[in-house]
A and B are shown apart, each in its own frame.
Chain A
Amino acid sequence: MHDMSHATEHHAHTPPQGFIRNYVFSLDHKVIGKQYYGLGLVAVITGMVLSWIMRIHLVWPNFAIPGLGLLSKAGAPGGIVTPEYYLQLMTMHGTLMVFFVLTNVPFAGFGNYFLPIQIGAEDMAFPRFNMMSFWTTFVAFLVLIAAFFVGDGPPLAGWTSYAPLSAVGGAAGPGEATGQTLWAISIAIFCIGQLLGSLNFISTTLDLRTKGMTLWRMPLSTWSWFITSCIGLTAFAVLLPACILLILDRTAGTSFFIPSGLVINDKLQPHSGGSTLLWQHLFWFFGHPEVYIAIVPAMGIVSHILINSMRRPMLSHRVIIYSLLAIGFLSYMVYGHHMFVSGMNPFSSLAFSFPTLLITIPSTVLVLIWIGSLYGSKLRITTASLFALGFISMFVSGGVSGFFLAQPSLDIYLHATYFVVGHFHMVMGVAAIFGMFAGTYFWFPKMFGRMMNETLGRVHFWLTFVGTYCIFMPFHYLGLAANVRRYSAFVDDYLQPLLGVHKFITIAALFTGAVQLIFLYNLIHSRFRGALAPANPWEATSLEWTMPSPPPFDNFGGRHPVVYHDPYQYGIEGATNDYVMQDSPEEIKSVRDER
């Protein structure tokens, strides 16, 4: 008896008191999830504005961008971007998008909010670590943004920060002094935040599942967050040492990455013997898994949403999970395909090419399962399901060019061109963003207790869908026409005829960016004025829909859900509805019974 009374005391959490504990330093995974989402939103707007500036400069190099001169007098005198400043903007665009958007929102944002709920837990395993995880990420963001306002601005070495450019300091160019140091510190802090987050996700998934929630009964979204956290745990644990070594090269005079005899501006650098390839190895050992950190959660979210819209499970729940696991595992063996032109041994190119082609198999299996399951289904068209379909479209379109790039003989020609820019923007950038949009439209009612506007949502989808294809498909064409990337203006003769394509892309980018205002309006308006959301607006089966919208502080209101079924019992004949929720004790008598 004694034990029982204590059990209730312990498990019925009382909501925290006060603004700070509720909204700022909150231990609640739901608040932390929203904080990640909000930070991602700020980062994506910043990153998008940077891309606008770059696109405008590319095609109208003499156009003075209002206000930019105030931000950087040297980088953009009178608002006209210098070639160096173009690279600085590009670095910040890449860093913001990859780290603070593609990692933060689909994984840390949605994952934090929904992983504990989908497995029937009250919170993450280590709520304090969880809070620290967000706030370290936030500090990392501030440190990175600070680079805009110091000395000669942000770094110009790109989001990959290749050494020795990133390691030698101010002599290497504008932004390579304080800016690059801030970049390295910011990413190191970011790694710590992500490691804490991954630790939480893994422990929570393994330890806090409610009664009956076996691993196979976890929704695909939870599986994808779990697999992503395993990738993140090992990948960020490698980037952190790399950043530490880079910081030491920059500040303490060591020579980990700086080779002997390096002369910059007629000055011999006081370093010797460092290995520039070492940075690339360490960076891409993280960098390639990072691509999957961005895309795997989107795969899970999209599967979760599509099943709900199709009203039937995927052709195979387990094969999807096996494929995601295979992708996670292989993601470590392919990283060298980023380094085909780095000067490493050509035999290692072959060794990295093979697993790169291999990883297309689980990816193709996923696509085939999605399409095969969609075939013949009576799809309920919602904005969320449209974006889920859009995700598949982007993933396939961007993925196909991956087959070409996986082969060193072709990559050598295409590597430094816009072909690669088009490839990665579609397959991991925009695809993951579509996953985020799908997740937002699907889960917004649960997160905020109000419905989003469907009409605006559909307008947003179609304009964005067409717009992104207009932006990123021509990139492939430009790449095939040997249009080099990272150039701020195209003055060479052979590039002049391509300017028209660039103008088209810029206009498409401005248009597609502006379309996102519809989404922002929908998001903010629905948050306050949207129709009140019922507990289960999409007639879905997983645990997040068993609680009121928005969920109470302790998720299940002191109740401990018991799970009786696989996550996706849709299209059940003879059930009260056409679906049976995971925690419903209702017996399922159908052909598809408990596959």
Chain B
Amino acid sequence: MATTVPEPPVHDLPSDNNRFPGNGKIGHGGGRILRPAEGHLRAVDDYSPSPSGTGIWVGLTAITMSFAAFTSAMIVRKGGASDWRHFTIPSILYLNTVVLLVSSVTLEVARRRIAAFMNGNTPRPAVASKWLYATLFLGLCFLGGQYAGWLQLKSQGLFLATSPSSSFFYVFTAVHGLHIVGGLAGLIYVIRKLHRLVLRRSTLDAASRYWHFMDAVWVYLLFMLWAKF
């Protein structure tokens, strides 16, 4: 007549099962089981530490190199010729920057809530997913805002090929925008996994690291476009 199902343990992987050197040491955070609210453990078979913790840093290294190449191209192009015409950045871009920075804050709140949920301190992930939706919304606002920035430039008669400064402006914003689209896809993936209660901590961490990084990249790009040196 045993009706009570013992609550599944929530803990790090047993060490003898730990096939992945470095797990738990370099911040994978992957070896944690997500405990669903009803106490019914399902779909948690995939608990092995994910290499996404490492992978995201490797990916960000490549992205850093790409943006370094783009911006150094701009520096060379700027210094090498007399046809450089500096233009005032559309004001909406500053608003977009604030939006993007706020989205990082909302994402961080979501990440902490989910972490608390994974640790068993919070009963439901619903509140956390609201913050994720907020991040998603802010990300979309940022993209819309960037597009509005393009329209502003167009109305001033500055197109892709008009001058080298406008060329770099469009290239930087477009490439960064594409990366933001990738980040949004990552967020949607996280939200889906969270709803199905199969989210891994490492996935969440990777997605949020990527998102914060894209913030930093944008601030850097904005500075490069704004600076008159």
Q: Closest CB of chain B to A509's CB: distance in Å?
A: 37
| Interface residues as binary, A219-256 with B (CB distance below 8 Å gives 1, 0 otherwise) | 00000000000000110111011101100100011111
A–B Cβ pairs within 8 angstroms, 25 of them: A3-B9, A3-B14, A3-B47, A9-B45, A10-B47, A198-B62, A203-B55, A206-B51, A207-B49, A207-B53, A208-B20, A236-B62, A241-B66, A244-B175, A254-B164, A256-B167, A260-B81, A273-B82, A273-B83, A273-B84, A275-B80, A277-B76, A277-B80, A278-B73, A285-B69
1/0 contact trace for B53-79 toward A, CB 8 Å?
111001101111110111001001100
Cα-based distance from A211 to B18 in the complex (angstroms): 8
A272 touches B83 (CB 8 A): yes
Chain B 198-210 near chain A by CB (<8 Å), digits 1 or 0: 0000000000000
Of all chain B residues, the one with the shortest Cβ separation from A212 is B21
The verdict on A263 contacting chain B, using a C-beta distance below 8 Å, is no
Q: Which residues of A have CB within 8 Å of B156?
A: none
Task: Decide if A199 is an interface residue (CB 8 Å cutoff).
Answer: yes
The answer to whether B51 touches A207 (Cβ under 8 A) is: yes
**Known: A248-B160, A252-B161, A256-B73. Contact between A207 and B62, CB under 8 A?**
no
Interface contact A203-B54, CB-CB below 8 Å: yes
B77–A234 touching, CB < 8 Å: no
Known: A10-B48, A203-B54, A252-B161. A234 touches B61 (CB 8 A): yes
Q: How many residues in A have their beta carbons less than 8 Å from beta carbons of B?
A: 52
CB-CB < 8 A to B61: which residues of A? 233-234, 237
Question: Could you tell me which residues of chain B, from 92 to 134, have a CB within 8 Å of some CB in chain A?
Answer: none
Q: Which residues of A contact B167 (CB under 8 A)?
A: 248, 254-256
* Given known A-B contacts A203-B58, A233-B61, A234-B61, A273 and B164 have beta carbons under 8 A apart: yes
Instruction: Give the distance to chain A from B227, nearest Cβ to Cβ, in Å.
Output: 19
Complex interface: chain A residues within 8 A of B160 (CB): 248, 252-254
- Would you call B44 an interface residue if the criterion is a C-beta within 8 Å of the partner chain's C-beta atoms? yes
Q: Provide the residues of chain B in CB contact with A198, threshold 8 Å.
A: 58, 62
Cα separation A206 to B54 with both chains bound (whole Å): 8
Digitize B127-147: 1 where CB-to-A-CB distance is under 8 Å, 0 elsewhere. 000000000000000000000
Tell me if A401 counts as interface (CB < 8 A to partner B): no
Choose from B20, B48, B58 the contact partner of A199 (Cβ within 8 Å): B58
Q: Which residues of B contact A202 (CB under 8 A)?
A: 54, 58
Minimum distance in angstroms from A237 CB to a CB of chain B: 4
Residues from chain B with Cβ under 8 Å of A240 in the complex: 66
- Complex CA distance for A427 and B9, rounded to whole angstroms: 58
Which of A126, A210, A281 is the one whose CB lies under 8 Å from B19?
A: A210
Question: When A and B form their complex, what is the total count of cross-chain residue pairs whose Cβ atoms lie within 8 Å?
Answer: 139
Interface of B toward A, CB cutoff 8 Å: 8-9, 13-14, 17, 19-22, 28, 41, 44-49, 51, 53-55, 58-59, 61-66, 68-70, 73, 76-77, 80-84, 160-161, 164, 167, 171, 175
* Contact yes or no, A209 B21, CB < 8 A: yes
Q: Which residue of A has the minimal Cβ distance to B61? A: A233
- Chain B residues with CB under 8 Å of A126's CB are 51, 55
- State which of B49, B80, B171 has its C-beta within 8 Å of the C-beta of A244: B171
Q: State the A residues within 8 Å of B (CB).
A: 2-4, 6-7, 9-11, 125-126, 195, 198-199, 202-204, 206-211, 213-214, 233-234, 236-238, 240-242, 244-245, 248, 252-256, 259-260, 272-275, 277-278, 281-282, 285, 560
Given A234-B65, A241-B70: A2 touches B55 (CB 8 Å cut-off)? no
Of A245, A255, A272, the residue contacting B171 (CB under 8 A) is A245
Residues A241 and B73 in contact in the complex (CB < 8 Å), given A3-B13, A253-B161: yes
Contact (Cβ within 8 A) B73 A282:
yes
List B contacts of A252 (CB < 8 A). 160-161
When chains A and B are docked, how far (Å) is the Cα of A354 from the Cα of B53? 38
A contact residues around B55 at 8 Å (CB): 125-126, 199, 203
Distance in Å from the Cβ of B25 to the closest Cβ of chain A? 11
Q: How far is the CB of A132 from chain B (nearest CB, A)?
A: 13
Q: Which 7 A-B pairs have the closest CB atoms?
A: A273-B81, A253-B161, A273-B83, A237-B65, A207-B51, A125-B51, A237-B62
Instruction: Tell me whether A237 and B58 are in contact in the complex, defined as CB-CB below 8 angstroms, given that A207-B22, A273-B83 are known contacts.
Output: no
B76 touches A275 (CB 8 A): yes
A234 CB contacts on chain B under 8 angstroms:
61-62, 65
Instruction: Give A240's nearest chain B residue, CB to CB.
Output: B66
Given contacts A237-B61, A560-B19, 4 further A-B contacts (CB under 8 A): A203-B58, A242-B69, A259-B81, A273-B77
Q: Which of B17, B51, B62, B76 contacts A233 (CB 8 A)?
A: B62
Question: Which residues of the partner chain B approach A256 to less than 8 Å between Cβ atoms?
Answer: 73, 77, 164, 167
Closest Cβ of chain A to B82, distance in Å, is 7
Measured between alpha carbons, how far is A282 from B59 in the docked complex, in Å? 20
Give CA–CA (A234, B53) in the complex, Å.
19
A126 to B52, CA, bound (A): 8
A275 and B77 in contact, given A6-B47, A237-B62, A245-B171 (Cβ under 8 angstroms) = yes
Question: Chain B residues near A10 (CB, 8 Å)?
Answer: 45-48
CA distance A558 to B51 in the complex (A): 20
| B54 CB contacts on chain A under 8 angstroms | 125, 202-203, 206-207
| Contact indicator A241/B69 (Cβ below 8 Å) | yes
